[in-house]
Structure 1
Amino acid sequence: MKLQFLGFRFSGWQKQTNAKTLHDMVDKSLSFVFEGVNYKTIGVGRTDAKVSANTYYIQMFTDGLVDEVFFMNSLNSNFSPDFKAISIQKVDRGFNIINVPKIKEYHYYFSFGEKNHPFAAPFLVNVDEILNVDAMMKAAKLFEGEHHFHKYCTKPSANTIFKRVIDSCEIVGNDILTANFFPEKSYILKVRGKGFLRYQIRLMMATLFEVGKGNLDLDFIEASLKEDNDRKFLRNIAPASGLQLFDIELEL
């Protein structure tokens, strides 16, 4: 099932004790839809607290067939305004939403200068300093290709693979999210790849902010991606609210 959600008031996807999570809300909504039907849901991946998704998938297991039209209408009527179910389709029993090959595209929305209208907070991160966007655009392209991302991952496991490929990485003007309370100019960091490390996009964005402020240069980024980097993760992490899981291409 394909979903969209605004993650600003949630503590991420994964269920937690004493926290309001996206997965909890999905299952709670489903409990009002299903009567006498057992079900279980699995998400395509974790999201951080306050991170939103224009595209997200869950795999649902039930012990009964679902009338797809009725189900979608009922689910959307029971969802809070933070959620919307987009589509549903049957898959083979052997399908695994977590292991299926996929390409993810993340967007990070930001602006700089004068403080934003408070209504923009769930979507757009504002940096109060003036940023050199041209330098940030050049720096973003350095992340493309195969690199060693030790410095762009927090709390890795013993089995974490740091050598990853980023298919594309660019900063462009924002013409996707618009509102009359947005600043006149805002920007998007767009990143595409098959898999990302814990906090990777937010660590990349924080580093690009430092480039924009003049505190770091292109040489720093190039060195940070080499195999012989010091492998200590960077400390600056960009706020989560600007991050959006924009698209997922599943190989069904």
Structure 2
Amino acid sequence: MHQVNRYFLELSYHGGNYHGWQTQPNAITVQQKIDEALSIYFKSKIETLGCGRTDTGVHATQFFAHFDCSIIDLENQELKFLRSINSLLPYDIAVHHIYPVAPDAHARFDATFRSYQYHIHFNKNPFKTHTSWLVKESLDIKAMNIAAAYLLEYEDFGAFCKSNADNFTNNCLVSRAEWEVTADGIIFHITANRFLRNMVRAIVGTLTDIGRGKFSPDYMREVIESKNRSAAGASVPACGLFLTEVNYPYIMRAVEEEK
């Protein structure tokens, strides 16, 4: 019987052509494409488990998934493996690294924090159509940042959770929430130990309502304390959302050792 090892894949993808990460019976997903490529490479069925579920149209500049297979000689074959897998994948999905991990390492449960960005631009730009949300009116960035800072004071984010989601808890520890002004738009940065379904897009929808002057920054407190999804703003389009960082202490140690 062949020995089986567990590996982490680090990948990125443009989500525009996919119905999110997770495999679905009647839709094309990123996980489906990854599993198909790995199964062809190893000539046996391979199933991955991802670090989370991104929704339809959401992108990831860093995403992790784990899978089990026979031992890979990474010391001599890593570059060949990466080239082979990438040649089997569509142009909008790329695998960047593979890491050997402990047999019980888990891409979803072992992550200590995740970071997202939401991109907004204010002038029509054909190169941002599928990676940023076009907002035609001006926004009060100062008010939005005041409101965003309140997120760090709370743990229950049920007000921003997709209805009928099956969460065991709505508690999340947010460690960063702020807007950055760029040359051609703004970017919302948010980091937490975990996220609820649709949470970031609902938060951005609420913050942009505040930025438009519909509410004062203190309205964010009212929304959070209500624990009611109907009190929060509408979910903003998926095109502007990126998963940008997923942290695992043992992966960070492996990267440092390679330097």
TM-score in terms of structure 1 length = 0.88
Q: Counterpart in 1 of 2:132?
A: 124
TM-score in terms of structure 2 length = 0.85
Q: How many angstroms does 1:147 deviate by? A: 3.1
Q: Counterpart in 1 of 2:189?
A: 190
Q: Counterpart in 2 of 1:71?
A: 81
How many residue pairs match? The answer is: 238
Structure 1 stretches of 5 or more lacking a match? 175-183
Is 1:80 matched with 2:90? yes
Question: What is the rounded CA distance, in whole Å, between the counterparts of 2:153 and 2:178 in structure 1?
Answer: 12
User: Structure 1 residues 21, 163: closer, same or farther in 2, change over 3 A?
Assistant: same
Question: What is the rounded CA distance, in whole Å, between the counterparts of 2:245 and 2:66 in structure 1?
Answer: 17
Query: Alignment identity in percent?
Result: 25
1:109 aligns with one of 119, 124, 134:
119
SS, match of residue 147 in structure 2: helix
Conserved 8 A contact 2:121-2:186:
yes
Question: What is the rounded CA distance, in whole Å, between the counterparts of 1:196 and 1:13 in structure 2?
Answer: 15
1:246 aligns with one of 234, 244, 247:
244
Question: What is the rounded CA distance, in whole Å, between the counterparts of 1:235 and 1:191 in structure 2?
Answer: 17
Conserved 8 A contact 2:165-2:197:
no
Conserved 8 A contact 1:38-1:63:
no
Q: Counterpart in 2 of 1:205?
A: 204
Is 1:224 matched with 2:223? yes
Q: How many angstroms does 1:239 deviate by? A: 0.5
Note the aligned Cα RMSD (angstroms): 1.8
SS, match of residue 127 in structure 2: helix
Q: Counterpart in 1 of 2:47?
A: 40
User: Structure 1 residues 194, 214: closer, same or farther in 2, change over 3 A?
Assistant: same
SS, match of residue 72 in structure 1: helix
Q: Counterpart in 2 of 1:16?
A: 24
Conserved 8 A contact 1:14-1:23:
yes
Tell which deviates more after alignment, 192-201 or 61-70. Answer: 61-70
Residue by residue over 1:137-179, the C-alpha shift from the partner in whole angstroms, topping out at 9 and shown as x without a partner, is: 22211212333212110124465312322001000023xxxxx
Name the amino acid aligned to 2:228.
Answer: R
Q: How many angstroms does 1:80 deviate by? A: 1.4
Name the amino acid aligned to 2:160.
Answer: Y
Q: Counterpart in 2 of 1:136?
A: 144
Q: Counterpart in 1 of 2:4?
A: none
Q: How many angstroms does 1:221 deviate by? A: 0.6
Question: What is the rounded CA distance, in whole Å, between the counterparts of 2:151 and 2:201 in structure 1?
Answer: 13
Tell which deviates more after alignment, 90-99 or 199-208. Answer: 90-99
Q: How many angstroms does 1:231 deviate by? A: 2.6
